[in-house]
Amino acid sequence: MKMTAYNYRPDELVYFKKFAPKYGIDLVLEKGVPSAETIGKAAGCHCISIMTTPLGAELIQKFYDAGIRFISTRSIGYDHIDISAAKKIGMHIGNVSYTTNSVADYTVMLILMATRKIKSIALRSRAQDFSLNGLQGVELHNLTVGVIGTGRIGRLVAKRLSAFGCHIVAYDLYENEEIKSFGKYVPLKQLFAESDVITMHMPATKDNYHLINKETIASMKDGVFIVNTARGSLIDTSAFIDAVERGKIGGAALDVVENEAGLYYRNHECDILKNRGMSLLKSFPNVIVTPHTAFYTDQAVSDMVENSIKSCLLFSQGKENPWQIV
């Protein structure tokens, strides 16, 4: 089977070269993003593998007209793809799964960093200010942590946090029995009201767009900590910034922000960021912003590449595909 892998990173290359021969794939590697200009690189292919490049209706149609019938994104999230447009024309879409340890471990790290005020400590230490005023943290065993979304990552985060002695409350549309051994499910309103720390682990959907907003923030404890390693659209950035400035939100750690597409994974060292919200968030001493790197481990990258190849192969063979969404 022939397939084209678009916008691959240098760290992915070793895994493409490892797994393509293993699965008998005739692989075409294209550094550029999938576009009208690079569509020719997929000639003779029925499947392509992409990263998180936005794919709108027009581009999906162009790939369909070129003979592509399956698009595998090397990510869990697929909100960068117009799924509705794909369905209309019969284009099939798949995502991938990868080790849950990567994001779960990173989430726990961010919770610890936020609650122990590591950003402020690091900034002061860099300026050789070793005073203690304003740096007092809190201990996890004294905190109630609200876990929103109890899929594979959310469950693993809850399990990790249980070792710290946290009181864990959780919310999900679909309850999982494993969570009940670490904490308890509660209504979302109760989770907002009771949690000292809130961590989110869910995909971006229309139903949870701006889940963290002016009204839900108002229902939270004063000084609450917010951690987001899921999707930036879960948080209303304007309302969030206002709450940080008022002291309603005591600290935050965000691996994702709204409208991050086109910014992350590129060097903007000498640029003015075209995302005012991100710039403001980065300026706060109690808000940690990292560039969507929670997933980024050697095992995760290996899994993403291998499972994208396997997904394309299963589709081409007409076999059951656990990663196929459409």
Structural domains in the chain, CATH included, are: 2-98+298-316 (3.40.50.720), 101-289 (3.40.50.720)
| pLDDT tens digits for range 195-207 | 999 999 998 899 9
At 20 the pLDDT is 98
Burial of 299 by CB count in 10 Å (0-12 exposed, 13-18 middle, 19+ buried)? exposed
131 pLDDT band (50/70/90 cuts)?
Answer: very high
At 173 the pLDDT is 95
The runs of H, that is alpha helices, within 213-267 are 214-218, 237-246
List the catalytic residue out of 74, 155, 167, 292: 292
Cα–Cα distances in Å, from 286 out to 21, 44, 242, 244? 48, 52, 14, 9
Which residues does 238 contact at the CB level (< 8 Å), separation at least 6?
Answer: 277
Answer whether 0.85 is exceeded by the pTM. Answer: yes
At 262 the pLDDT is 82
At 53 the pLDDT is 87
Give the mean model confidence (pLDDT) for residues 276-297.
97
> Is position 231 annotated as part of the catalytic site?
yes
Which is higher by pLDDT, 195 or 262? 195
At residue 322, does pLDDT exceed 90? yes
At 121 the pLDDT is 97
Tokens of 235: 């948080």
At 120 the pLDDT is 97
| pLDDT tens digits for range 23-71 | 999 999 999 999 999 999 999 999 999 998 899 999 999 999 999 999 9
**C-alpha to C-alpha distance for 41 and 288, rounded to whole angstroms:** 39
List the catalytic residue out of 231, 258, 276, 320: 231
Per mean pLDDT, which range of 76-80, 115-119, 130-134 is the poorest?
A: 76-80
Which is higher by pLDDT, 205 or 216? 216
Nearest to 241 by CA among 280, 208, 212: 280
Tokens of 215: 């009204």
| pLDDT tens digits for range 149-199 | 999 999 999 999 999 999 999 999 999 999 999 999 999 999 999 999 999
Tokens of 202: 């869910």
Q: Average pLDDT over the chain, rounded to whole? A: 96
Give the rounded percent of residues in the chain with a pLDDT score beyond 70.
Answer: 100
Which residues does 173 contact at the CB level (< 8 Å), separation at least 6?
Answer: none
| pLDDT tens digits for range 73-112 | 999 889 899 999 999 999 999 999 999 999 999 999 999 9
